[in-house]
Amino acid sequence: MKEHEWLEIDQDNGYSIDHLPLGIDFSGVVTRVGDTIIQLSKLTDSIKSVDQKALSSNSLNHLFSLGHKAMENLREEIVEITREATKELLSASYSFDHARLKLPVQVGNFVDFYSSLHHATNVGRLFRPNADPLPKAWRHLPIAYHGRSSTVLPSGTKIVRPKGLFQKGGDVVFSETGALDFEAEVGFIVAKESEVGTPLSPSEFYDYVAGVVLVNDWSARDIQAFEYVPLGPFLGKSFATSMSCLVTPIEALLGARVQPVRQDPTPSSYLFDPDPWALDIGLSIKINQTTVSSPPFRSMYWTPGQQLAHMTINGANVTCGDVFASGTVSGENEDQVGSLIELTQDGRRPITLVDGTSRSYLDDGDVVTISATTRSLSGGRLSFGEVIGEVLPSL
């Protein structure tokens, strides 16, 4: 039998041996290879690079806090010990179809950026039709808001339609939202704590970020539109943010790096990166069985490194388990936008699904699935963990 042949890895499913995403199940830390989940906490006789406590934890925080060298050593060990199907390895393995994965990290802080030029322009035209679609600061700094970490939820969690105040006709009403939307985003998980009062630079991204997830920043557009001036979104977004349960390590994404888009004007010096990069990730969004959009992450205006630098330039620190999300990923074409508010022009131009029904915004019972792929280290396909959520009726 060839090395790793027992795993029956389909190279097209995006979970080859050079990916090794990490997650949490009932036993502790797991990885996925092909369609197999491997429980690392049960491989104590084979894994020596990290301590058992980190592998038995109910979050990845402890493991990530050990640093990139430990993560690189762990990845090398996993590649080595999975070459042949030993008794220990088989007893620690099961089909991904039976996986019940949890939220991968204990989230400390959640920050959501607004870094797509196309998304910001599209939404600005809808919210402010008689003004410049971009705020004056937009091209000078990565705009963001500080979100609610307690409602960052694992993929698969069902989302209850929220209620709030919004304008309906000429009245202000309290009711369930009639404009429930998704936002397809890419999230980054912080691995270690920085010092309060000490800003980080874009070039320190690799030292501080452990991995990448997919994010759905659920949004109630009618509630958001009524409340967002002057302090930004609150109840229109804080009710739920879904996150994929598998974390793709930064080490696995070196083959996905590309040059970022040109920024004009030249950003402030604290946002300067001597070796700038973006990630060539292709997202896909489905409502039920219909693919409605395919946003390109490489088109984002502000880079992940610049986002990290901006978060800390005032002296605010980051901690292990913090999550910062890119903001809605949208490309320049209509079939590349990352939200329904853009796809339907705020409900004025409904889309049609494959079953013949139409949507201006999400209906109760709709299932939203966000997936993504990129190039692996070996040049093949790498798939990110999906983020899935079903809409439930309001309580």
Q: Which residues are catalytic?
A: 119
Helices (H) and strands (E) in the chain, counts: 9, 26
224 marked among binding-site residues: yes
> Which residues lie across from 325 on neighbouring strands?
112, 187
What CA–CA distance (Å, rounded) separates 47 from 100?
A: 23
Query: Is the separation of the CB atoms in 192 and 208 below 8 Å?
Result: yes
User: In 3D, which of 91, 114, 102 has the Cα closest to residue 23?
Assistant: 102
What CA–CA distance (Å, rounded) separates 6 from 40?
A: 17
228 marked among binding-site residues: yes
Amino acid at residue number 33: V
Query: Is the separation of the CB atoms in 92 and 85 below 8 Å?
Result: no
112 marked among binding-site residues: yes
Using the 8-state DSSP alphabet, how is residue 296 labeled?
A: B
Question: Rounded to 5 degrees, what are φ and ψ at 219?
Answer: -140, 135
Residue with tokens 């490194």: 305
What CA–CA distance (Å, rounded) separates 81 from 253?
A: 22
Q: Exposed, middle or buried: residue 35 (CB in 10 Å: 0-12, 13-18, 19+)?
A: middle
Question: Rounded to 5 degrees, what are φ and ψ at 46?
Answer: -110, -35
345 marked among binding-site residues: no
301 marked among binding-site residues: no
C-alpha dist (Å) from residue 342 to 118, 165, 175, 336, 337: 10, 22, 23, 10, 6
3-state secondary structure of 249: strand
121 marked among binding-site residues: no
Please report the DSSP string for 129-198 in residue order. Answer: TTS-SS-TTTTTS--EEE--GGGEEETT--EEPPEEEEEETTEEEEEE-S-EE-BEEEEEEE-SPPPTT-
241 marked among binding-site residues: yes
322 marked among binding-site residues: no
User: In 3D, which of 382, 216, 332 has the Cα closest to residue 285?
Assistant: 216
Binding-site sequence positions for substrate: 114, 128, 224, 228, 328
Binding-site sequence positions for Mg(2+): 217, 237, 241
Binding-site sequence positions for Ca(2+): 112, 183, 185, 217
Binding-site sequence positions: 112, 114, 128, 183, 185, 217, 224, 228, 237, 241, 328
